[in-house]
């Protein structure tokens, strides 16, 4: 099928490998309303693409995806209905990514934060530029980590480490992330494409349906966990969007100053 109608993704084919590049309206591929809408349908479209067997997900430019765009955040704070209205899509981003049968390799070319980190970590194999960083700073900007971070981080690195990084919002280097098992590989910039191509070739060298359905079976417990957690996660995140400290945290970032938090 044709992958047209996208303004926040570009696509490139190399044989049966299809690269989807997150191409935001800002230099760090921050998530705005248009990108959020496209994220909720792109993985379904990629699954239905008859001309590919392996998907590589990457970011255009210097970042993978640095999470929510702060101008969009401000709109949601001013009008909470705008946050409420994306709840279904927020769940679909996570479920459609896990529902994909095709293997998806994350080519983490730069920073992955917030929702960007969630998307990277829900891929099947994550290969990062060793200069990249990854983290989930939802808490720092007054939001619950409800877009899937609270689901996937503990499954990869255990609850103690996951809660440390989710509660503090600290960013990790790709090298550290690989050391603790959060991602698969951190490689020098010059080796990133070679490593991705090698991994894709390994996957394509095996029988297609055995690979796809092994992924499907392996994802089954994650999908059950998502079904158990995501409604609550999105609801708490929606509530946190209406807190006074949420508005102050976003304003402080936009105004490049320290936040004056009140605990409300």
Beta strands in 60-145 (DSSP E): 63-65, 104-108, 111-113, 125-129, 133-135
pTM of the model: 0.96
Q: What's the whole-number average pLDDT of the chain?
A: 97
Q: Is residue 169 classed exposed, middle or buried when 0-12, 13-18 and 19+ CB atoms within 10 A define those classes?
A: middle
Residue 4 clears pLDDT 90, i.e. is over it:
no
Alpha carbon distance 67, 49 (integer Å): 26
Residue 1 clears pLDDT 70, i.e. is over it:
no
Length of the chain: 264
The rounded percent of the chain whose pLDDT value lies above 90 is 98
Return the CATH number of 9-208, one of 3.90.600.10, 3.50.50.60, 3.90.226.10, 3.30.360.10: 3.90.226.10
Q: Is residue 205 classed exposed, middle or buried when 0-12, 13-18 and 19+ CB atoms within 10 A define those classes?
A: exposed
Per-residue pLDDT tens over the stretch 39-89? 999 999 999 999 999 999 999 999 999 999 999 999 999 999 999 999 999
24: left (phi over 0), alpha (psi -120 to 50) or beta: beta
Among residues 121, 118, 120, the alpha carbon closest in space to that of 136 is found at 118
Per-residue pLDDT tens over the stretch 171-226? 999 999 999 999 999 999 999 999 999 999 999 999 999 999 999 999 999 999 99
Per-residue pLDDT tens over the stretch 87-143? 999 999 999 999 999 999 999 999 999 999 999 999 999 999 999 999 999 999 999
What are 105's strand-pairing partners?
56, 125
Q: 3-class DSSP state for residue 14?
A: strand
Alpha carbon distance 177, 148 (integer Å): 18
Residue 164 clears pLDDT 70, i.e. is over it:
yes
């Amino acid at each position: 099928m044709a992958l047209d109608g996208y303004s926040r993704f570009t696509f490139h084919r190399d044989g049966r490998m299809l690269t989807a590049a997150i191409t935001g309206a800002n230099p760090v591929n921050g998530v705005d309303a248009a990108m959020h809408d496209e994220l909720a349908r792109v993985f379904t479209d990629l699954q239905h693409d008859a001309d590919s067997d392996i998907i590589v997900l990457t970011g255009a430019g210097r970042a993978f995806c640095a999470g929510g765009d702060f101008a969009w955040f401000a709109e949601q704070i001013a009008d909470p209905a705008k946050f409420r209205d994306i709840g279904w899509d927020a769940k679909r981003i996570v479920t459609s990514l896990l529902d994909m049968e095709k293997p998806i390799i994350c080519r983490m070319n730069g920073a992955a934060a917030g929702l960007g980190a969630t998307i990277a970590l829900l891929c099947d194999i994550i290969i990062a530029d060793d200069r990249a960083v990854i983290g989930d700073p939802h808490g720092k900007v007054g939001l619950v980590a409800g877009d899937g971070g609270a689901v996937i981080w503990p499954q990869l690195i255990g609850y103690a480490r996951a809660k440390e990084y989710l509660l503090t919002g600290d960013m990790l280097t790709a090298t550290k992330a690989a050391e603790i098992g959060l991602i698969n590989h951190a490689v020098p910039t010059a080796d990133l494409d070679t490593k991705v191509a090698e991994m894709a070739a390994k996957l394509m060298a095996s029988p297609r349906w055995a690979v796809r359905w092994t992924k499907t079976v392996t994802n089954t417990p994650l999908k059950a966990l998502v079904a158990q957690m995501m409604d609550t996660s999105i609801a708490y995140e929606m509530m946190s969007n209406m807190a006074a400290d949420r508005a102050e945290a976003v304003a402080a970032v936009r105004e490049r100053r320290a936040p004056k938090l009140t605990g409300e």
